[in-house]
Amino acid sequence: MATNRTGKAGRLLGRLESRKNLTGSACGIVGLGLTFAGVAGAYWPVVVVGLYGAGALIAPPERPPLPDFPDPSAQLDEIRADFGKLRAYLADVELPPAAAGRLTELTELLAALLDPGWVAEILAQDPEGVHALSRTVRTDVPEAVDTFVRTRWWVRLAPGTEAPERHLERQLTLLHEEAEALAAGLRETEARRQESHTRYLEDRA
């Protein structure tokens, strides 16, 4: 019950503090001023109410606050924490040497991209890159490894089928190529920034 009362009181207070009510009240006060000045005459209630309504109509509409989404830097902090969980999970998984080597290459590249510093600052300015990195860490790598572990168990029961490590190696290779492309894009961004600064100095000279 107390929560309901608080909600009603909050809504009432919100209406009282709304732009429409404040603007209408200001216009209504002008109407009262005209009444005391003798301009409105016997129709002063109509004048006051009319001015209040006119003020409420011309007031700009209320703009609801934007959702408070985390900025890219905060998103990278969350991805970095999840990457730590992923590495702990991968440490307990036994993989064939070839797949383990490719996984190591991938995780080292991901660690370099997520390492706090100027690289992460550049990455934070690329929402699509942040999304791609999040997808790799939270979905693609865990899914690839977990699917391999489960499929390998079934292959042991029914030998002669295609080796699941081939799929895992291919998946890790593709993910590594995606991460390399992301790193190349960041490097290109810095190269363009350097070229822009060179042109700026040339134009200034």
How confident is the model over 156-187, as pLDDT tens digits?
666 666 688 899 999 999 999 999 999 999 88
Question: Is position 152 within any domain?
Answer: yes
On whether both 149 and 197 belong to a single domain, the answer is yes
Q: What are phi and psi of 69, to 5 degrees?
A: -85, 150
Domain co-membership, 94 together with 54? no
Query: Does 79 share its domain with 53?
Result: no
Residues 6+ apart with CB under 8 A from 142: 86, 89
Instruction: Write the pLDDT tens digit of every residue in 30-85.
Output: 666 656 665 555 655 665 566 666 666 556 666 667 676 667 678 889 999 999 99
What is the phi/psi pair of residue 5, to 5°? -65, -40
Question: Does residue 65 fall inside a structural domain?
Answer: no
Taking alpha carbons only, the member of 79, 131, 110, 118 closest to residue 180 is 110
Based on the domain organization, do 33 and 77 belong to the same domain? no
Q: What's the pLDDT score for residue 102?
A: 95
Cα–Cα distance measured from residue 26 to residue 55, given in angstroms and rounded to the nearest whole number: 8
Domain shared by 48 and 89, yes or no: no
What is the Cα–Cα distance from 205 to 32, expressed in whole angstroms? 66
Count of structural domains, the chain:
2
pTM of the model: 0.64
Whether residue 142 sits in one domain with residue 54: no
- Could you tell me the residue range of the domain that residue 38 belongs to? 2-58
Residue 67 located in a structural domain? no
Same domain, 83 and 38: no
Q: Is 135 a member of any domain?
A: yes
Q: Is 43 in the same domain as 107?
A: no
Q: How confident is the model at residue 16 (pLDDT cuts 50, 70, 90)?
A: very low
Are 52 and 94 in a shared domain? no
Give residue 75's pLDDT. Answer: 87
pLDDT value at 191 more than 60: yes
What integer pLDDT is reported at residue 167 of this predicted model? Answer: 92
| 132 falls within a domain | yes
Residue 66: inside a domain: no
Q: Which residues of 1-32 are buried (b: 16+ CB within 10 A; e: fewer)?
A: eeeeeeeeeeeeeeeeeeebbebbeebbeebe
* Domain-located, residue 161: yes
43 with 90, same domain?
A: no
Q: Verify that 112 and 44 share a domain, yes or no.
A: no
185/103 same-domain check: yes
The reply to whether 94 falls in a domain is yes
Query: Distance between CA atoms of 166 and 163, rounded to whole angstroms?
Result: 6
